[in-house]
Amino acid sequence: MNSYFKTALTLFILGGLLGPLGDMYHVHSMTTGYPDNYAYYILGIPWWVFPFFGVSGLAIGISYHFMDFKGEKFQSRGFTHAFLGPIIFLLSYLLSGYLTVVKTSLILNHILLGSIFAIIWFVYGRSWRSLFLSLWFSFLGILVETTLIRMGVFWYTANDNLLFGVASWLPWLYLILAVSIGNFTHFLIKKH
């Protein structure tokens, strides 16, 4: 198998596992919700969420790698360092649901998630290109989620759905995701 296929498979599996874990907690914390009319549910979320997140992780990771000129400023020093980014993304995802449960102020939500992004960007990105790509993927993520909400596929139940129907803190999660998955993709391709 060539390195891009191995990387693509790894990103699909990683996205298909980590994303739904965060989504399960969002449903459990009543941050988001799904209609009752889907045929199969796995731990509170529809079956299609797993491949959807898998394809999303794959698309963001591979696109980021190529748009970042194949990782010219690649920052990771090994697997643990590279894999820490996706783990921090998952923890940020869980934190965003927890902040909904404890009903913190929106300002605190933005400060916490924004600080995590700043640290992730400093450790893994540290370039204007990385910042631009993160903003681009955040915009695309919000666009996709807004479209799904308008189609009635899911919804945000929290009072903070001020950004076209999604939570105003959601861009921070996409910013964290883009840098961490982009860096992890650089690592996988250079490793293979």
pLDDT at 87: 97
Distance between CA 99 and CA 112 in Å, rounded? 10
Tens-digit pLDDT profile for residues 83-96: 999 999 999 999 99
Q: Maximum CA pair distance of the chain? A: 49
Tell me the β-bridge partners of 46.
Answer: 41
Structure tokens at 175: 């910013």
Question: What stretch of H or E contains 45?
Answer: strand 45-46
Task: Give the residue among 7, 187, 190 at the shortest CA–CA distance from 80.
Answer: 187
Helix (H, G, I), strand (E, B) or coil at 29: coil
pLDDT of residue 191: 79
Q: How far is CA 185 from the centre of its chain?
A: 14
- Cα 104 from chain centroid? 21
Q: Percent helix, strand, coil in the chain (nearest 5)?
A: 70, 5, 25
pLDDT in 10s for each residue of the chain, 192 residues:
687 899 999 999 999 999 999 999 999 998 999 998 887 889 889 999 999 999 999 999 999 888 876 555 555 578 888 999 999 999 999 999 998 888 888 899 999 999 999 999 999 888 888 899 999 999 999 999 999 999 999 999 866 767 788 999 999 999 999 999 999 998 998 877
Q: What whole-number distance in Å separates Cα of residue 64 and Cα of residue 19?
A: 18
Domain ranges of the chain: 3-19+48-191
* 32-33/155-156 β-pairing: antiparallel
Helix (H) or strand (E) holding 42: strand 41-42
Say what the pLDDT of residue 1 is: 63
By the 10 Å C-beta count (0-12 exposed, 13-18 middle, 19+ buried), 138 is classed as buried
Q: Find out whether 103 and 158 touch, Cβ atoms under 8 Å.
A: no
- Quick one: what percent of the chain has pLDDT higher than 90? 62
Quote the pLDDT of residue 48. 94
pTM: 0.92
